[in-house]
Amino acid sequence: MTANRLAASIFSFFAASGLVCTAAYAASPVKIGLIQPLTGSVAYNGQADVNGAKLAVAVINKAGGVLGHPLELTIEDGQCNPANTVNAAEKLVQKDKVSALIGAFCSSATAAIMPVAQKYRIPLLTGVSSEADLTEKGNPWFFRAAETDQLLARSFAPTLIRTLSLKRVAYVGVNDDWGRGGVQAFQQALQAGGVQTASTDYFDHGATDFYTLLAKLRASGADGLFVAAETQDGSTLVKQLKELGLNIKVFGVGSWATSDFIDLAGPAAEGVYAAVPYASTLATPENSAFVNSYTTVYKAPPGKYGAAGYNAVEIMAAAIQRAGSTDADRIRAALLQTDYQAPNGRYRFTAKGQAYGFSLVLVQIHNKVPQVVATTTVGAPH
């Protein structure tokens, strides 16, 4: 389906459901700027985040909007490129006059706009970027409604070691802040559990040829492969892995539990383990309602990025409502008071802006379904 046809079908659903605002209601909106990668190798995932964000806006506006006004998203394509993301943030703040920013998916891109948020004193919330140091930079305008790589590694390394009988693991990650951070976090956690490192390799976004890397993997003697990758790169890697007949246990972080990855990878997705903050198969009433709504609109169940976009908009909109104003200082103070029941748990923030209280999930892809293997909850940091 083309982007125009998809947009038309979504609009038709929203209109039929009473989720589209009238022209009179649409005056004087409360504006939130959203920066996601909509082109490039991470576009599948960025678009999923936007889909979730749009669904949240529709739900919020059907319930009366924010501060008696409709909520409006102004969306920019940051391409997961730090320079492009900074340009997008500057436009959203200076030209579009948004009251808050959400973005920017890749940790390196989010890190690039954190100084922009601080310069203009505007709240910035990411629902995706998981590089741990982001909330250690002392930026009072930055909030993260997502897990960190270390949290995932500490939570699930023991289960992976036990379930997969891991002895020697090879590590592969995309060569950016997130990929390197994910490899480092899981490598440390698995080594602490007695697992040896067979090899460590990185690839660039948009890579299409993993054969040389996989040949090295074959010679390494690894019995497990950890991968930090998003939809396009990850699906290409596992398909080439299967093509070469490598019998190795695959697990990792990224987009493994999403319908886009499962569809693109095809049979190669079978058996892959993923450590994620969200899976559509989570058994909670809030998640059942969210999955039904999302699937009705987008004809596929949500993955972690659809949930991330939905949660981020809900959290920011609720903070603006609590603030009683679009004043940035009041919104920032209201974000610190967040207590949001999401499809995947309860979100609250530490003084550093790190969310806690939500679920983390280890899943295995079986018959195209991310089946839950283990769950845990992110506790408040000590």
Per-residue pLDDT of the chain (382 residues; tens, 9 = 90+): 333 333 344 444 454 444 443 333 446 999 999 999 999 999 999 999 999 999 999 999 999 999 999 999 999 999 999 999 999 999 999 999 999 999 999 999 999 999 999 999 999 999 999 999 999 999 999 999 999 989 999 999 999 999 999 999 999 999 999 999 999 999 999 999 999 999 999 999 999 999 999 999 999 999 999 999 999 999 999 999 999 999 999 999 998 889 999 999 999 999 999 999 999 999 899 999 999 999 999 999 999 999 999 999 999 999 999 999 999 999 999 999 999 999 999 999 999 999 999 999 999 999 999 999 999 999 876 5
Q: How many helices (H) and strands (E) does the chain have?
A: 12, 14
Residues 241 and 132 in one domain: no
Cα separation, 331 vs 86, in Å, equals: 22
Peptide bond into 308 cis (omega under 30): no
Number of domains composing the chain? 2
Q: Return the structure tokens found at 121.
A: 């004193």
Residues 95 and 203 in one domain: no
Residues 67 and 106 in one domain: yes
Q: What pairing do the DSSP bridges indicate for beta strands 168-174 and 142-144?
A: unpaired
In which residue are the tokens 């790169």 written?
A: 233
Residues 317 and 350 in one domain: yes
CATH of the domain at 126: 3.40.50.2300
Domain of residue 212 covers 149-276
| Residues in CB range of 348: below 8 A, 6 or more apart | 338, 339, 340, 355, 356, 357, 380
- 365, part of any domain: no
> Which uninterrupted H or E stretch holds 224?
strand 224-229
Cα separation, 281 vs 140, in Å, equals: 35
Residues 83 and 197 in one domain: no
Model confidence, pTM: 0.89
Strand ranges of the sheet holding 100-102, from the earlier edge strand across to the other edge: 71-77, 30-36, 100-102, 124-126, 142-144
Residues 177 and 223 in one domain: yes
Question: Which residue type is seen at 254?
Answer: G
- 380, part of any domain: no
- 93, part of any domain: yes
Q: Which of 229, 231, 265, 273 is nearest to 248 (CA)?
A: 273
Question: Which residue type is seen at 374?
Answer: A
C-alpha distances out from residue 6 to 12, 142, 264, 299, 377, Å: 10, 33, 19, 10, 35
Domain edge (last residue) among 276, 299, 329:
276
Beta-ladder partners of 229: 254
